[in-house]
Structure 1
Amino acid sequence: MFATPEQFAAANKVTVDALLTIANTALASAERVAALNLHTARALIEDSVSSTKTLLGAKDVQELVSLQAALAQPNVEKAVAYSRSVYEISAQTQEEVSKVFEAQLTEFNKAIGGVLDKVSKNAPAGSDVAVAAVKSAIAAANSAFDSVNKAAKQVAEIAEANVAAATNATVKAVGAAGKKKAA
């Protein structure tokens, strides 16, 4: 009925493994963001030098305004692409961490179910009602967790669709504004 040292060791191993998985996921995410930032900074410097050279080659004010408008669109698109990349990294990280927590919850539920079965076998007569009530409460909590989890996934999908739509609208609006200035 009581947990043995081997059971405690196994439970601790599972917990440590889950924490290591989460730590590795966080580090991988940080590496991806750092690589993205380094790449973006390098591209920004190269683009700035190129843009400066282009703008310095303008022969008159009209050409300078036209060049500025032409250079604005790619910069907005790059900023949007950067934001989208950061969002994707964070969404993937959140998804991986959620999977670890779901696996932990599943294991916890199995363990609690096993303990309740042992308790019900060794419990005094009449305690079936209490064990059934605990099992019912656990089932209700799991159902609520599943509902919240599904709702959170739907919200994430809607948010992702809205981000994509807003991104496209921003790029189109800046492109149209740039064309109007150039004209």
Structure 2
Amino acid sequence: MAKNANLPNVEELTAANAAAIANLEAVAHTALEAIESLSALNLNFARESLNKSSKQANAALKLKTPQEAAAMNADSVQPVVESVVAYARGVYDIANGAASEISGMLKKQFDDLSKKVQDAAVSGAKAAPFGSDVVLAAIKQTVEANNAAYANLSKAVKQAADIAEANVTKATEAAVKATKRK
């Protein structure tokens, strides 16, 4: 049986599948690392909260006047807010880092696929019968349109991430300032 130069062979298909599995594995590892980081952050936050609550309760037992209780209440708000803000910031940083890493992996995979489609179109053009240049031009135009759409989507996602980052920073600053004024 003659091999068709335009069709991928078994080795190419096997290599493509192996690459897809490797990419999927890399994405899964990144997601698991993010979950591990979030778990560690949660455990540390719970441990610190328990320690602070215990110290606060012991200090409350030593209070003698309502004025001391009011002062203690006022003094305890800011550290709690700062702790919660730091926790939220940690969650955001872990999620944002994992999303950026996974996005980079997916972009590389998309770029590789686009190149393979273009290469296949070029090799197909060499062996194609007369008149098929219209079909090949349509394939090339489709690939270019997909690349442009992906670039626009990536740009929109980056802008949304930048806006979210700015909002997290502003909310953090506002929360800390609000507790300092009291």
Structure with greater contact order relative to length (CA < 8 Å, sep ≥ 6):
1
The answer for the alignment partner of 1:13 in structure 2 is: 18
Q: CA deviation at 1:53?
A: 1.2
Q: Which of 76, 81, 84 is the equivalent residue of 1:76?
A: 81
User: Cα deviation per residue 1:150-182 (whole Å; 9 max; x = unaligned)?
Assistant: 1210121111011111111011112223xxxxx
**Percent of residue pairs bearing the same amino acid type:** 38
The answer for the alignment partner of 1:134 in structure 2 is: 139
RMSD, aligned α-carbons: 0.9
Instruction: Give, in whole Å, the separation in 1 of the partners of 2:94 and 2:70.
Output: 37
User: Cα deviation per residue 1:89-143 (whole Å; 9 max; x = unaligned)?
Assistant: 0000100110111010011011101111121111111111221121012101101
The answer for the alignment partner of 2:160 in structure 1 is: 155
> Structure 2 length normalisation: TM-score?
0.94
The answer for the alignment partner of 1:36 in structure 2 is: 41
Task: Write the mapping of 1:75-154 to structure 2, written as runs, cut at 5 A.
Answer: 75-154=80-159
Instruction: Give, in whole Å, the separation in 1 of the partners of 2:41 and 2:93.
Output: 12
Give the conservation status (yes or no) of the 8 Å contact 1:55–1:68.
no
Q: For structure 2, which runs of at least 5 residues remain unmatched after alignment?
A: 1-5
Residues 1:57 and 2:62 are matched in the alignment: yes
> Structure 1 length normalisation: TM-score?
0.94
* Matched residues, number: 177
SS of corresponding position for 1:66: helix
Q: For structure 1, which runs of at least 5 residues remain unmatched after alignment?
A: 178-183
